[in-house]
Chains A and B, each alone.
Chain A
Amino acid sequence: MTALARTRTATTMAFRDQLRRPLMLILIVVIPAYVITQAIAQTLATPRRIGLPDGVFITTTMKDLHGAGMGGVVIAFVAALLGVFVMQSALDGDRRLVVAGFRPGETVMARLLVLLSGTALVVAVAALVTALNFSAANWPALIVSLMLLGLIYAAIGALAGALLDKLAATYVMLFLVMTDLGVVQTPMFHVTPGRLAVLLPGYGPSRVMYDGAFSGPFHASAELLLSLGWTAALAVAVAIVLRRAVGDWG
């Protein structure tokens, strides 16, 4: 069997494994749809002044802030849990594939494609539900930021899944997302994020997200670069950790 054929087989099996679990697909659709719709519907249109990247200040409403930001929070939650449990599945099953003759890189590629597809699905649902409830000034920027948030948190979840047991990984991811995106980065509680907010992974993509939501001209080039840097570094880390985890066995 060639490397390409093995990679295709591993990928097909990994996707089939996910498709055997219809509840997961239902929840990936229902959770973003419910949370985003409820958050926007229940929030009052109280005026709120916020700071965007590049020193731009605008006045919007709390309702629109939920419209702009809730998609990112939900995507990060779901993608992080996807990362944790896709990694745990890989640790459980892929070592046997390697013993059976697959190369570690082939099984790693299959799992990363599953993670990427799951994240893309959550982002698509969240973007669609957001579009039904909120009108962004710059949709391409908003959608790119949502995808970056998803990828960053999926990768952090995967690393947590490799290093911690599933209970600890779940606690860490949910607490990190809540703190980073739900409190530190959101303009609902601060006009601009605090001085140390830049250290957290959600800083770059959430700044791009709020810029895309409220400003036609793009002001967040530096934040976009920072987000791409986080994504690339985390993707490399996940590939290395996963490859070692499935390849060093036996």
Chain B
Amino acid sequence: MLSAALPTTGAFVREHLRAPLTLALLVAIPAFFVLIFASVLGDFAKALGGTLAAQSATAVSAGWAAAFLSGTLAFFQVSSSRGADRRLASAGLGAWRVAVARIAAALAIGISVSAVAFVTLWLRSGIGHPLHAAVAIFSFAVIYIGLGALIGAFVKGALEGSLMVLLLFSLDAFSSPEMTLSGAFAWTPTRSAAELLIAAGGGHGSPSADWLGMAAVAVGAVGVALAAFWVAARTRS
């Protein structure tokens, strides 16, 4: 399966990056996001009644940048390539190989976006626990790849899908740990990743419960994304 899926993965990555502007945006937006929002997220958290320190706020901005870019990309991957993927599957590649290639491409781009956000974060303010922060930022990307792909599996319209990603992002922004006094939406998917990232940004370790929670959600997100890509490659419109 892998020998057939790997070249296809490379083709899928090139498909998204063939427009030079898209490639530039995937590098520039996470960097700008971290640089611009890092300076104001601490104030934003205080306005909401949260206790987020400036350095932790900077760390969260890196996670949100990776999440938003990866989620939007995954949505468009599923919604706009249904026809091509079905043809690829019918031509002999099979729906599973197409799905594996698609998710590998999404993860490769997610790693790149996360790496840019991580490096910007490190250069701007330093990171107490770099490895923890890197894993948490990538987990944000993986979780949103799952969410974006899930939306893409059910929502065909580009406007509706991008609005759904925006709505999810808003839910996260208002419910991130320590951003708010409110306990509402404590179940949001990126909560454990955010706890871990905030702790890493502040130079603290995290309890194993946060690691387990984050890993469970990230693995679940990969499963959801795989299923979404498979359904998109298999079903007829």
Contact = CB atoms under 8 A, between A and B. Distances in A.
A34 B167 contact: yes
Given A38-B174, A46-B47, A183-B36, A165 B19 contact: yes
B160 A27 contact: yes
Contact of A188 (B29, B32, B47, B160): B47
Contacts, number: 106
B159 interface: yes
A203 interface: no
B114 to A, nearest CB: 16
Interface in A157-214: 164-168, 170-172, 174-175, 178-179, 183, 188-189
Interface residues of A, number: 41
B208 to A, nearest CB: 30
Contacts of A46: 46-47
Contact of B170 (A23, A34, A171): A34
Nearest to B69: A171
Interface of B: 16, 19, 21-22, 25, 29, 32-33, 36-37, 40, 43-44, 46-49, 68-69, 72-73, 76, 80, 155, 157-160, 162-164, 166-167, 170-171, 174, 180-182
11 contacts: A23-B155, A35-B170, A39-B174, A44-B46, A44-B48, A65-B47, A81-B159, A174-B72, A175-B33, A188-B40, A189-B44
Interface of A: 21, 23-24, 27-28, 30-31, 34-35, 38-39, 41-44, 46, 62, 65-66, 77-78, 81-82, 84-85, 88, 164-168, 170-172, 174-175, 178-179, 183, 188-189
